[in-house]
Amino acid sequence: MADPVSLEGLMVFRTTSSGSTKRVVIGAAAVALTLMVAGCASGKTSTSTSKTLTIDKAFDLKTADPGRMYEPTGEMVDKALYETLLTFKGGDVSKVVDGLASLKESDDAKTFTLTLKGAHKFSDGSDLTADDVVFSLNRVIGLKGNPSFLLDGVTVTKKDSKTVVLTTATPTPALPSILANPALGILNEKVVTAHGGSTTESDAAEKYLNTHSAGSGPYMLSSLNLASQVVLTANTNYDGDNPAYGRVVIQNVQGATQKINVQGGSADVALDLSGTEASGLSGSIKVTSDPSANVLFLLLNQDPTVSKITSNPDFVKAVKEAIDYKDLVSIAGKGTSQAPGVVPSMFLGALNPSDELTTDLTAAKADLAKSGYAGEDVTLNFPSDLTLNGIEFPTIAQRIQSQLKGAGINITLAPAPVATELDAYRNGKETIGFWYWGPDYPDPSDYLVFTPGNVVGLRAGWAAGADPSISKLADAAAAGGTDAERATQFQDLQKALNASGPFVPLLQPGNNIAAKSSVTGVVYNAVWTIDIAALGSK
């Protein structure tokens, strides 16, 4: 989800039934009767099979096959269909918790031992085993699809009937967070292989997985139309608490219409409202507004052959000091916050608000004078047709132009369609670039790309060796350690980036979810947006 159009990157916690409880297969009539009362033998809460939940979402849906899926809508759908080895609790993506398995990680972050917990069953009633885990993860690797990069360099082996071991040649402290991604959901090996599945590119199970689910999640796939609608039904073999809604309809609707639908009652939840749209809702509609995990930023090219002006460190400082961040937040709308660093505020290692860049026009003018800048026009490149969480890039670019003018910096806006501008961005040819980074996975390791010689560093003309002190901090952060150690390492790295790097973190756009007051448990998650099974009803 790092790049705006490729959507390459870019889970909820529940209490399972007691491991000592045995699942007993009984007749259909007895099942129907048992589900009508609380405290049934499995310890589950009851599902109201008559209740339907309707969710409006602007689709970026390509498939329901976990091994090929890596788009936000697909993440939400597959979170409901498949369970993962590890997961996140609610909206907290700063640390993983047990999912299907418990984790033991080696001190060098190269060996990850996962032990299955309790007894889990697929939707067809068969047991979930270590063989299914090995097959599912190796299938993601072998398909070479969109999510395959998540397991680059990972070897998956079965230790025993309950234990799987993942190994890497180099420290990979981000792997636990990666394992919580719905793209790594565990599939029923026997069912998938019977329908053409394999762990190679010859796999032909996608057609089946777009009409049936082969998972152990709280829901099963009833129907899927990639252009219009997904329908889910409750999985009666699910090991955890039954979801509150027996049927879920997810329909493809754009933001403005979503507001009309949730106000009018034809939708229960709307997931894609802009700050302005969300601000106009009240009464029986509740709005959950949080900063998203997307970070809008500027890059100032450090290659003198591209720009002698932006490669001057005093000019970079002047730009950082001249921007009015609070003003940008105000025009971006409900739920938006200033980005304190390149790592989003909800991730491990994020900076505190006290570490945010601040506006200081006096300092900006002084640093501008030291840079030797003489009023030349400087180009600001950005995608003209990109809107993120309701924020239109041209609107922010125009405000930045005005703000920098106040410090004496003359900016020429150079908008271009995203498909065109991406080439200049990726090839490091922009003078000042205005873009965003969406997380590939919710771990600060994903943001090492903003250092010299790495992907986004090179897009800013920042070659390897350009800043040895920052590279040293990046190497320390990449090596891993305890959560506390990693948090400190990434905070130190970002403080150095804010002080002397060529990037200006601007905003985390708001993520606004509107729901009827009868829908409870609405919590934004940076990976799967919402956990459908965690939504309640009153």
pLDDT of the residue at 206: 98
The DSSP-derived string for 325-363 is HHHHHHHH-TT-EE-SSSS-TTSTTPPPGGGS----HHH
Kindly give the residue spans of alpha helices, DSSP state H, lying in 118-249.
130-143, 175-178, 189-194, 206-209
| Residue 14 within any structural domain of the chain | no
* Same domain assignment for residues 499 and 525: no
Would you say residue 159 lies in a domain?
A: yes
Same domain, 481 and 530: no
Asked if residue 78 is part of any domain, the answer here is yes
Residue 390's pLDDT is: 87
Q: What is the pLDDT of residue 382?
A: 97
| Residue 453 shares a structural domain with residue 501 | yes
Distance CA 59, CA 255 (A): 11
Classify 9 in phi/psi space as left (phi over 0), alpha (psi -120 to 50) or beta: left
Is the Cα dihedral 505, 529, 249, 266 positive or negative? negative
Does any domain span residue 430? Answer: yes
Phi, psi for residue 202 in degrees, rounded to 5: -80, -5
Range of the domain at 378: 295-508
Instruction: State the total domains in the chain.
Output: 2
Domain presence at residue 23 = no
Q: Are residues 316 and 382 both part of a single domain?
A: yes
310-343 tens-digit pLDDT: 999 999 999 999 999 999 999 998 999 999 999 9
- By the 8 A CB rule, do 205 and 197 touch? yes
Query: Which residue, among 222, 171, 190, has the nearest Cα to 64 in the 3D structure?
Result: 222
Residues 156 and 239 in one domain: yes
Predicted pLDDT of residue 40? 35
- Separation of alpha carbons 168 and 157, rounded Å: 12
Q: Does residue 149 share a domain with residue 125?
A: yes
Q: Are 6 and 426 in contact (CB under 8 A)?
A: no
pLDDT at position 38 is 33
- Regarding whether 518 and 491 lie in a shared domain, the answer is no
Has residue 9 been placed in a domain? no
Same structural domain for residues 269 and 397?
no
Q: 3-class SS at 472?
A: helix
Predicted confidence at residue 146, as pLDDT, reads 93
Q: What token pair was written down for 224?
A: 């899927």
The enclosing domain of 97 has a CATH number of 3.40.190.10
Locus of tokens 């009984």: 26
Q: Taking Cα atoms as reference points, which of 193, 51, 189 lies closest to residue 133?
A: 189
Per-residue HEC secondary structure of 370-383 comes to HHCCCCCEEEEEEE
321 with 450, same domain?
A: yes
Q: Convert 162-186 into a string of H (helix), E (strand) and C (coil).
A: CEEEEEECCCCCCHHHHCCCHHHCC
What predicted TM-score, i.e. pTM, was given to this entire model? 0.87
Instruction: Say which CATH number the domain at 310 has.
Output: 3.10.105.10
Buried b (16+ CB within 10 A) or exposed e, 98-114: bbbbebebeeebbebbb
Centre a 10 Å sphere on the Cβ of residue 510 and count the other Cβ atoms it contains: 24
How many whole angstroms separate alpha carbon 221 and alpha carbon 202? 24
Q: pLDDT at position 75, please?
A: 97
Residues 170 and 313 in one domain: no
Confirm whether 105 is domain-assigned.
yes
In a domain, 68, yes or no: yes
Shared domain check, 345 and 244:
no
Question: Residue 326 class from Cβ within 10 Å (0-12 exposed, 13-18 middle, 19+ buried)?
Answer: exposed
Q: Which two tokens stand for residue 512?
A: 């606004």
Judgement on whether residues 386 and 523 belong to the same structural domain of the protein: no
Q: Distance between CA 300 and CA 461 in Å, rounded?
A: 8
Which residues in the chain show pLDDT less than 50? 5-43
Per-residue model confidence (pLDDT) at position 100: 98
CB 526 within 8 A of CB 293: yes
DSSP 372-430: T--S-EEEEEEETT-EETTEEHHHHHHHHHHHHHHTT-EEEEEEE-HHHHHHHHHTT--
Cβ atoms of 287 and 270 within 8 Å: the answer is: no
Backbone phi, then psi, for 250, in 5-degree steps?
-110, 120
